[in-house]
Structure 1
Amino acid sequence: MELVPFKDTGKAPAQNFTGDVYVTSIKTPTEPSRLTAALVRFTPGARTNWHSHALGQTLHVTEGVGYVGTRDGKVIRMRAGDTVWTPPGEEHWHGGTATTFMCHIAMLEASAEGDPTTWLEPVTDETYQSAGN
């Protein structure tokens, strides 16, 4: 057993996010584990680009209210305490509402091929705004 050193929070890369998003790494893959986990904080209106994960992703909301949306138009409104699973390959996005912060722990496994996330185009304002309806 070991205490893992605290990692600094950094701003998420603008090429994969709209708005201000901050990430604190919790766990990076260390053989034989392939687990990646991070605490992700979204300011109001902030969101990810469309993306998918080779082996799926689990989101556990720790604070606030946010959305997860899929290409077929399904939107889940998630609140603190909720856990959402996105299956392997499902294109989705997530973020805070227009008026609230949202913080979640994102957990996923790295695939044998490497990077577990495929980043795609930004979510349009129209798609984001329709999530709140």
Structure 2
Amino acid sequence: MPESTIIKSGHNPDAKCTKPTETFTGDVYLDPIHFDTEAAIANVTFTPCARTHWHTHEKGQMIKVVAGNGWICDKGGVPRRLKTGDVVWAPAGTTHWHGADEGSIMTHFVVGLGRTVWHEAVSDEEYGKKGSS
């Protein structure tokens, strides 16, 4: 029977923390843990106002905020506040974005299932339409 894998130091030692730019607005740091065709697992840190572009996950996405405050918004909805400890489940096919608040970083542990399809950038106007806390 295969043995479980321990990934030391909070990230894959063979992977490097990266600063993706094509699918994010602002300064974002991606600490990859595991990536294959079934799942993408990472710690992601957003600087104030940084955010993803609109995107959709084939089989859904789980987000757990581990530091700071931020926002999540489903297409057609109003951005909703995220705080440290919050967990989000974005069902399969839900187009959404997430990112940090204006005055805070946000780090989340994220598990995306299946293929991720990236869409257009979230405009400053869309980001500015904050909803409930």
Which residue of structure 1 lines up, in the alignment, with residue 66 of structure 2? Answer: 62
Unaligned runs of 5+ residues in structure 1 are: 111-115
Q: Give distance in 1, aligned partners of 2:23 and 2:62.
A: 18
SS, match of residue 84 in structure 1: strand
Which residue of structure 2 lines up, in the alignment, with residue 113 of structure 1? Answer: none
Which residue of structure 1 lines up, in the alignment, with residue 56 of structure 2? Answer: 52
85 and 2 in structure 1: CA distance in 2 versus 1, 3 angstrom threshold: closer
Which residue of structure 1 lines up, in the alignment, with residue 36 of structure 2? Answer: 29
Over aligned residues, Cα RMSD in angstroms?
A: 1.7
Q: Give distance in 2, aligned partners of 1:59 and 1:65.
A: 13
Q: Which amino acid aligns with 1:84?
A: V
Aligned residues: 124
Which residue of structure 2 lines up, in the alignment, with residue 129 of structure 1? Answer: 128
Cα deviation for residue 99 of structure 1 reads 1.1
Q: Give distance in 2, aligned partners of 1:53 and 1:35.
A: 10
Correspondent of 2:5 among 2, 8, 16: 2
Unaligned runs of 5+ residues in structure 2 are: none
Cα deviation for residue 74 of structure 1 reads 3.1
2:24 and 2:52 in contact (8 A); partners too:
yes
Deviation by residue 1:64-84 (Cα, 9 ceiling, x = unmatched): 000000112232211111100
Q: Give distance in 2, aligned partners of 1:47 and 1:100.
A: 12
Q: Give distance in 2, aligned partners of 1:126 and 1:2.
A: 43
1:97 and 1:132 in contact (8 A); partners too:
no
Could you tell me the TM-score, scaled by structure 1's length? 0.86
Q: Give distance in 2, aligned partners of 1:121 and 1:39.
A: 22
1:55 and 1:89 in contact (8 A); partners too:
yes
Could you tell me the TM-score, scaled by structure 2's length? 0.86
Identity of aligned residues (%): 38
